[in-house]
Amino acid sequence: MSGNVILIGWDGSVQGKAVERLLKTQGLACEHRSAQEAVNPVGASAEVLLVRESGAQAPRLPVLQALHDSGNHRSVILVGDCLLPEQVVQATRMGALDVLPEPLDNERLMAALQRARLSSLSTHVDEVIREDCPSILGSSPKMVEVFKQLGVAASNDLNVLLTGETGVGKEVSAYCIHRHSARAGGPYVAINCTAIPEGLLEAELFGHARGAYTNAVSDGIGKIEAAQGGTLLLDEIGDMSPTFQAKLLRFLEDKQFHRLGDASVRSADVRIIAATNRNLLAEVEAGRFRRDLYYRLAQFPISIPPLRERPDDIRSLVRAFVAEANLRLGLKITEVSEEAEAAALGYHWPGNVRELKNLVYQAAVRTRVGSIAGFPFAVGAEGECPSSQGIKAGGLESLVKRAVAGGRVRHLLEEFEALTLRSLMEAFEGNRSRISEELGISRNTLRAKLKVHGL
């Protein structure tokens, strides 16, 4: 266990020295600070504040009150001698996660500290879940530069093109731009251009009139109208057909459109953010994507780097997703083993942050309580890109032998499918239309399979 504990109200006391010795034997860094220093922290941050107050000050709790009034967001444990029930109620109301009586029981104190540290982690991730904070994408120098660009994009109303491999966080980035822009009070609407059959995409985007097609029993607004005054995310824009590219270009030129089956011209004030895992400039040069549409969409391009190029983010992301799994699934994961962390740091992560989250969730659900010993990588996938590892090790026969030796035969078909899809995504540079065509399945089926495997 590692972390920082600030002791407030213990300095110079026999009890304080005993607590300090206990914390150090458990691998916890600790230091004494005054209440004023805790309210206005300088230097290293703390995960937990261990505050000592006295029942003799009843009904007041001056240190806890000062922390509460200062907007403290750190986890707090209150320790007190002869605390009155009224003080215990007040402490809980002011955010204390636990109230422990003196003399202290060491086991109870360590259990309270573990809960407090986990709560501190979970509180941060809860904010991420509720607010889609971009910190979930990482905090490495490369991602800090991306965040700066997101801030610039939020400060203007230009169309934005987000590029990056599958799973790097383009959707979260798009929402971040919207949430910090002048359009934050308006709607945020997203549409995945590959998830909707081309025949229905026009109606889905522009809306339709009654009778425009079978089962169109009433008029319906499209995503563009639904995003009026706000932001519209066009995800997987690189897979859009040439025919529909022309229709989208017409809308971008003057923000006017008409619903399917209706000649009436309508207009919409919408900011467009497009996202793709394709190299659109290469698609332009190959004649598969309109050059004029590209320049309309890429008024402010932002490229998000893959996870393998920013390994500094892996530890923090694993930590965040473990806490998120605890929060959402009611689990009690306390840590990730050094071996599991090392394996994560050495993995190629072709599915990027989405794959990492998928594997962390799988490992957390299987572990449920305590320490995660390892992540359920596809057979033969650790260390290198799975496809190259499997080929070097002797292909399918080697994968099967490893599964038998590792007692993972039950998961072999699922893992081989994941391995195959990863390899195809690399071989076809993320071109989902081409992959689905080669496999003989629909794009929706492929998309569902990729989602299952965190790709």
Compute the Cα dihedral for 312, 317, 322, 323 and give only its sign. positive
Compute the Cα dihedral for 22, 25, 28, 30 and give only its sign. positive
3-state SS, residue 395? helix
Predicted confidence (pLDDT) at residue 314 exceeds the cutoff of 80: yes
> Secondary structure of 345-356 in the HEC alphabet?
HHCCCCCHHHHH
Question: How many CB atoms lie under 10 A from the CB of residue 166?
Answer: 21
pTM over 0.85: no
- Tens of pLDDT, residue by residue over 214-241, are 777 688 888 999 999 999 999 999 988 8
pLDDT at 83: 73
Mean pLDDT of 160-165: 95
Mean pLDDT of 117-127: 51
Comparison of pLDDT for 9 and 137, the residue scoring more: 9
pLDDT at 291: 95
Comparison of pLDDT for 147 and 161, the residue scoring more: 161
Burial of 18 (0-12, 13-18, 19+ CB in 10 A): middle
**Whether the bond into 103 is cis, omega within 30 of 0:** yes
Secondary element (H or E) of residue 386? helix 386-392
Comparison of pLDDT for 235 and 439, the residue scoring more: 235
Read off the tokens for 101: 């009586």
Helical spans, DSSP H, in 287-367: 291-297, 312-329, 338-346, 352-367
Residue 98 banded pLDDT, cuts 50, 70, 90: confident
The residues near 296 (Cβ < 8 Å, ≥ 6 apart) are: 159, 249, 252, 253
Query: What is the distance between the alpha carbons of residues 390 and 424, in angstroms, rounded to a whole number?
Result: 14
What is the C-alpha R_g of the chain? 27
Mean pLDDT of 26-50: 73
Secondary element (H or E) of residue 115? helix 106-131
Winning range, highest mean pLDDT, from 65-69, 289-293, 343-347, 371-375: 289-293
Residue the block writes with tokens 């934005």: 160
Predicted confidence (pLDDT) at residue 213 exceeds the cutoff of 90: no
Least confident of 163-177, 194-208, 335-349: 194-208
pLDDT at 35: 73
pLDDT at 45: 57
Mean pLDDT of 290-315: 93
pLDDT at 64: 85
Mean pLDDT of the chain: 80
Read off the tokens for 179: 């949430």
Comparison of pLDDT for 180 and 364, the residue scoring more: 364
pLDDT at 388: 41
- Tens of pLDDT, residue by residue over 359-418, are 999 999 999 888 998 898 865 554 444 444 443 444 566 566 656 655 556 556 776 777
Predicted confidence (pLDDT) at residue 318 exceeds the cutoff of 70: yes
Q: Which letter, b or e, does each residue of 350-370 get, where b requires 16 or more Cβ atoms within 10 Å of its Cβ?
A: bbbbbbbbbbbbebbeebeee
Predicted confidence (pLDDT) at residue 179 exceeds the cutoff of 60: yes
Q: What angle do CA 361, 365, 370 make, to 5 degrees?
A: 105
pLDDT at 1: 40
* 223, amino acid identity: K
Residue 272 banded pLDDT, cuts 50, 70, 90: very high
Predicted confidence (pLDDT) at residue 324 exceeds the cutoff of 80: yes
Comparison of pLDDT for 199 and 64, the residue scoring more: 64
pLDDT at 128: 37
Residue of 348, 197, 355, 192 lying closest to 276 (CA atoms): 192
pLDDT over 70, % of the chain? 82
Residue 134 banded pLDDT, cuts 50, 70, 90: very low
The residues near 410 (Cβ < 8 Å, ≥ 6 apart) are: none
